Structure 1
Amino acid sequence: MRLSLAFLLALNLPALGAELPVRAITLSSAGVVQVERAGEVAAGEAARFRLPLGDVDDLLRSLTVADPAGAVIGLRLPAQDLAAEAFRGLPLRAEDFDTRASLLNALRGQNVTAGGTEGRITEAAETEASGLRLSLLTAEGFRSIILREGDAVRFADPTLGPRIARAAEAVAAARAADEREVTVDLAGQAMREVSLSYVAGAPVWKPSYRLFVPPTGPAAEARLQAWAVVENATGSDWSEVALTLVSGEAAAYRQTLYTPIRPARPEMPVRVAEAVSVQADTGPRPAPPPPPAPAAMAMFRSAPGAAAPARAAEIAAPAAPAIAEASAGRVAFRLPQPVTLRGGQTANLPFLDLTLPAQRVWWIQDLAARHPLSAVRVTNAGDSTLPDALASVFAAGEGGYLGDAELRALAPGEQRLLAFGRDRDVLVTAGGGQVERPLRAERRRGAFLITLLRREEVSLALDPKGATGTLLIDVPRRPGMTPRFPVLAEGDFGLRHEVALDGEPSGVTLAFEREATTEIALWDAGLGDPRLIPWRGLNVEQNLRRLPGGPGTLEALRDIAARMPADAPGRAEITAAVAGLGEARALLDVVRGALKELATAEAALARARQAAEDRSGPEREAARRRLNEASLAVERAGAAADAAWNAWAGKAQALTGG
């Protein structure tokens, strides 16, 4: 747009303040950046800078200003919707600023003074030879004025010029709609150094490690280099800035402060008289036909739808290691060298170079795995916590790549295992099982309470095929069980055990133990007192396992007595109970035999009775004699059953403590 200098001055454009460049950057692993800007500001001058639109909310909630010889008045920035606010109430649109003719044509009817003539704008047009021709409606009539470079157009309305200036500023800002210029108004009386800082969202800085491990064998040293991937997303170039990398778990939030928030309000309608609606009469119509019968409806039903390595050179160290500063909950690595990075660029910067105590080991995490993991055990001998990162592992002195390992945050003095591969030269076979051994027994009325020692074992057969070194085994915890092997460490991994391999095949057993109790009843108390149980009406065969001396209890106690140590508490009582149950078993067998004989006698009696009823004459007399004999046999069998049952009941009474 070609506007003359005089025309611009007539719009009363605001004066610019001092631009504050970026001096220091602090990147956090929480996804925020602290930006520090500083520069000289003269008396009465404001400080200004530009930042991405998405950072304005964070700026408004976190800006701090340090002015040693002044005070902060406040902060100003354009409206979020620049065009809507700047053009509100103006007869202009953004495209009207394309040329000065289109701008003046959009202002038709405004009272101006140009070339010494006052009037209202009617038309403006560019001429090829003479310049801008402006047509004005004056008190005497129409006049055409040729405006050349340097001629001014002044508005009679003193508020119109600043408003058009703001609209022009909005047009310029709209060409970079993703940025905003921030002005910090200051009250100061002299030239001085002013600094400010604010926090904004940023890509997290990403650490990565290069770990050079010693060969398999005794404890040695490993070299750890830490690099940081840094992105400049602040919207400003960094020139010789002080860069600090912070690792921690800070709480970071966003809050909408820049966007105008207008709460919704209910609308109360204006009450007016209700409208009267009348439907015109269209006259009568014929009655509708009756609905079709169900059979006829069938033909209108819709059809169903269709169903779709060479040796490496010596690794270079960073120009200078970062200075680590630890505080509560975080570690800050301050790079000693200034950093220059243009906006939008990415850098990978080394910030640590450490020597750590280390040892190559084998590591079993999965007990079912056929081969152990290749790993290195490292200890943080530094003064600061190493942040979470992925490490590329190399063989020290050779530079051969071995694999990748995940390093979780490592505090000073702590130790970590880093696995980077699997050693298929070492074979592992896992087995195991569970055994129970009775420890003691306690006699209670009608039962024994048995205390058992349960032992669960994991057995590993190891064949290192001539290799020597240290093997670490992680075993899951067994709730309620006590490990019976040396535990090197405990953690989220469970229990860790260490084994030294001498090159020969060997084995290791990892056992857990706990005590448990079980109760063995001598009889089923649900039947009642054995002395009072009548055998008549009781199906002895169906309830055999519930009776003292029945199958199950005798065998269980006999097995426990056989597995219990000879001097174990309660073993004598169990042995006596086994003997008593054996006697009860024999008496119960007698009862069962007597009951079978009784059943046979009763069946014979029934047949004899039926025969006596069916016979007549001499045969009837013989049948009655056989009936009397069968009746006497039933009485003898019943008496034998009673005697056998009473004998068994007496033994049952002695067994149950009655």
Structure 2
Amino acid sequence: MRAPILLTALALPAAAADLPVRSVTLSNAGLMQIERAGDLAPEASIGFRAPVEDVDDVLKSLLLRDPGGRVEDVRLAAQDLQAEAFRGLPLKPEDFGSRATLMAALRGQAVEAGGASGRLMDAEDTEAGLRVTLLTDGGLRLLLLREGEEVRLADAALAAQIARAAEALAASRSADMRGITIRLSGATAPREVGLTYVAAAPLWKPSWRLVLPDGAGEARLQGWAVVENRSGTDWNRVRLSLVSGNPSAFAQPLYAPIRVARPLLPVRAAERVEVAADTGARPALPEMSPDMRASVSRRLPAAAMARMAAPEPPPAEAAQAVAEASPGRVAFTLQTPVSIRGGETANLPFLEERLPAERIWWVQDVNVRHPLNAVRLTNATAHVLPDGLAAVYGATGAEAGAWLGDAELRAVALGEQRIIAYARDRNVQMTAAQDGSERPVGVAMTPGVAHFTVRKRQEVALAIDPRGARGRLVLDLPRRGEAKPIFAVTAEGDFGLRTEALLDGSATTLRFAWEQTVRQEVPLWDRGLGDPVLLRWREIDLDQDWRRMPGGGTGLETLEFLAMQLPAEAPGRAMLQGTIAALAEARRLLEAARAAIRTDTLAEAQLTRARAAVEDRTGAAKEDARKRLNEASQTAERAGTAADAAWEAWQRAVQAVLAQTG
């Protein structure tokens, strides 16, 4: 038996026209542009459905074209439709399970039923009909409602709320979709109206079929696009465009309610007084052992592929799309309308081109054993070729119709070249060796420092055995800081430095070198000592500091080693030889001064002992001690004079060194 009707005061919206999808533009930025258009009556509104996840984008980008009307507003149900519809009602969604549960949820409400008015107390389904108990002014009244009889709520506003809740309950059964209504006004005659919006979409995925020539010639390039319709609407004979570009795109939560958080100001109360209870004294910590203290502080192998035969005769021509290029963007528009049902995936041909091509060997790392099989393509079309994966096939000879491998094709601008590799040539072998050298080519002198100009050279030698095969080898070599290549560079890019060589079938060795000129300083002494001419030997520890002084240390040997490598015509070579000679003399005199100073040190020590002997002795022994003290004093005086003379001689040699370098 049907449930009695619960009357409401609900104003139903006017019917909305669902404009069909006329065109779809898919972008490689993960977006789609939907265009709907159709004839619209003067007072009609526009209605369509969109997935919930697209509503933010629709609200952000909706654009209406109406030659005769104006937009009043865009309406759709709240995101939390069901929760909002039941807010404040005495009902829950489960109360709509049966008429008895609905009536039970409305207990206490004022109603009219069976010609009587009162408050609904109870309702029960029976075989005879719905038995309703009302509380009237005269007491309880039992009513049996039969088919078609009504229970009318006295509160019209509550009735309208319940009706909206029922509508929301029905709509929530398809919670992943939302109906959107655009209300228009001002039109006086039928006209064609269109709307456009942009929403997220699966990427359209290009893939390529590349048929290679034997050697140099023309390669045949076919473009296919995998397209997925996830718009929630069927596309029936739409104009489909595939766009490759790099637009700026943002997402913003316009549909979801956003509540701004506010700081919570607490109600002030008296501060709590917290007291830690006294738990009594505890034993002292034990001393930690040393050990305890230390402990605390402490490429898938490629699967074998069977030879894949391409269809014979050669592949059929692919459907050609119309390419329209604009700055930073190219759109391929299919010439034939496309139909793709919602949730369906299609693979559509959109390009057929013939491009200049040359088959080459490609080396990206000289340390590998075999080079890559590759092809160099030139984009001779009038537009950019987008990124995609290419399945490479052969065209002639033993390769005719054979799958040769897969390759990644990155975006190619007009007139640009790209090298794509599809296999590794195991018939060609390579061995690489690297070496480096440094050689001084000039020298300049400043006081205390020799400034060498050093030429650094780095070299890579690549031995290649093509085993009779002929062709072009392209190598990508890394940049080496500021070192300049001394080989022909055909291109520079993210790959580094590109160079090329022609192989004639015989084994050969290719050499690639980089050179860099640097400055190298060789100090003749430690500048931290100050001016060596002003040094006093009695004020320094010569045994410790002699290596820091002119003639000491390894500066002389370093200069001699570098001088042997200097070319005879190198600038500054004669001055360097003079400096080496002067520095060698300074070393000889420094060694002599060190010897004299050591003698003086021994003499001073003997003099000190002699003085102590005089103090310790008496009588005849004291007289002998005085004689020895006199002899020790004379010896110390002669040693000191000799040390002074040797030190002055060394300082004169230092001045000669300064004269050479100044």
After TM superposition, list the pairs within 5 Å mapping 1:448-487 onto structure 2.
Answer: 448-487=450-489
After TM superposition, list the pairs within 5 Å mapping 1:24-423 onto structure 2.
Answer: 24-88=23-87, 90-99=89-98, 117=115, 119-120=117-118, 144=143, 147-148=146-147, 159=157, 162-187=160-185, 188-215=187-214, 217=215, 219-264=216-261, 294=283, 309-314=307-312, 316-317=315-316, 319-397=318-396, 398-423=400-425
The structural deviation recorded for 1:382 is: 1.5
Q: Match of 1:522, as an amino acid?
A: L
Q: Match of 1:54, as an amino acid?
A: E
Q: Match of 1:250, as an amino acid?
A: P
- 8 Å Cα contact 1:442/1:449 also seen in 2: yes
**SS of aligned partner of 2:174:** coil
The structural deviation recorded for 1:336 is: 1.9
- 8 Å Cα contact 2:34/2:196 also seen in 1: yes
2:512 alignment partner in structure 1: 510
Q: Aligned partners of 1:221, 1:108: CA distance in 2, in Å?
A: 84
**SS of aligned partner of 2:351:** strand
How many percent of aligned residue pairs carry the same amino acid?
54
**SS of aligned partner of 2:164:** helix
TM-score by length of 2: 0.81
- 8 Å Cα contact 1:10/1:154 also seen in 2: no
The structural deviation recorded for 1:13 is: 4.7
Provide Cα deviations, 1:144-187, integer angstroms capped at 9, x if missing partner: 566446x7776666556644442332222122122121222223
Q: Aligned partners of 1:564, 1:290: CA distance in 2, in Å?
A: 85
Q: Match of 2:247, as an amino acid?
A: A
Provide Cα deviations, 1:241-293, integer angstroms capped at 9, x if missing partner: 2222222222222222223334456789999xx99xxxxxxxxxxxx999587
Q: 1:71 to 1:616 in 2, by over 3 A?
A: closer
Provide Cα deviations, 1:103-156, integer angstroms capped at 9, x if missing partner: 5665567677778x464567766676x77777878899957566446x777666
The structural deviation recorded for 1:325 is: 1.8
* Structure 2 unaligned residues grouped into runs of 5+: 271-276, 287-306
The structural deviation recorded for 1:88 is: 4.5
- 8 Å Cα contact 2:236/2:340 also seen in 1: yes
Q: 1:620 to 1:173 in 2, by over 3 A?
A: closer
- 8 Å Cα contact 1:13/1:165 also seen in 2: no
The structural deviation recorded for 1:528 is: 4.5
Q: 1:156 to 1:432 in 2, by over 3 A?
A: closer
Q: Aligned partners of 1:81, 1:412: CA distance in 2, in Å?
A: 50
Q: 1:142 to 1:405 in 2, by over 3 A?
A: same
What is the root-mean-square deviation in Å for CA atoms of aligned residues? 4.1
Q: Match of 2:512, as an amino acid?
A: L
The structural deviation recorded for 1:30 is: 2.0
The structural deviation recorded for 1:489 is: 0.9
The structural deviation recorded for 1:617 is: 10
Q: Aligned partners of 1:515, 1:331: CA distance in 2, in Å?
A: 47
The structural deviation recorded for 1:197 is: 1.7
Mean Cα deviation higher: 238-247 or 544-553: 544-553
Provide Cα deviations, 1:562-599, integer angstroms capped at 9, x if missing partner: 22222222111112222223333344444445456656
Q: 1:239 to 1:570 in 2, by over 3 A?
A: same
The structural deviation recorded for 1:339 is: 2.1
1:306 alignment partner in structure 2: none
TM-score by length of 1: 0.82
- 8 Å Cα contact 1:378/1:415 also seen in 2: yes
Mean Cα deviation higher: 633-642 or 20-29: 633-642
Q: 1:169 to 1:632 in 2, by over 3 A?
A: closer
Q: Match of 2:577, as an amino acid?
A: T
* Structure 1 unaligned residues grouped into runs of 5+: 276-287, 298-308
Provide Cα deviations, 1:460-480, integer angstroms capped at 9, x if missing partner: 222323222222222222222
- 8 Å Cα contact 1:232/1:344 also seen in 2: yes
- 8 Å Cα contact 1:2/1:100 also seen in 2: no
Q: Aligned partners of 2:621, 2:283: CA distance in 1, in Å?
A: 82
How many aligned positions are there?
626
- 8 Å Cα contact 1:318/1:351 also seen in 2: no
- 8 Å Cα contact 2:8/2:163 also seen in 1: no
Q: 1:2 to 1:527 in 2, by over 3 A?
A: same
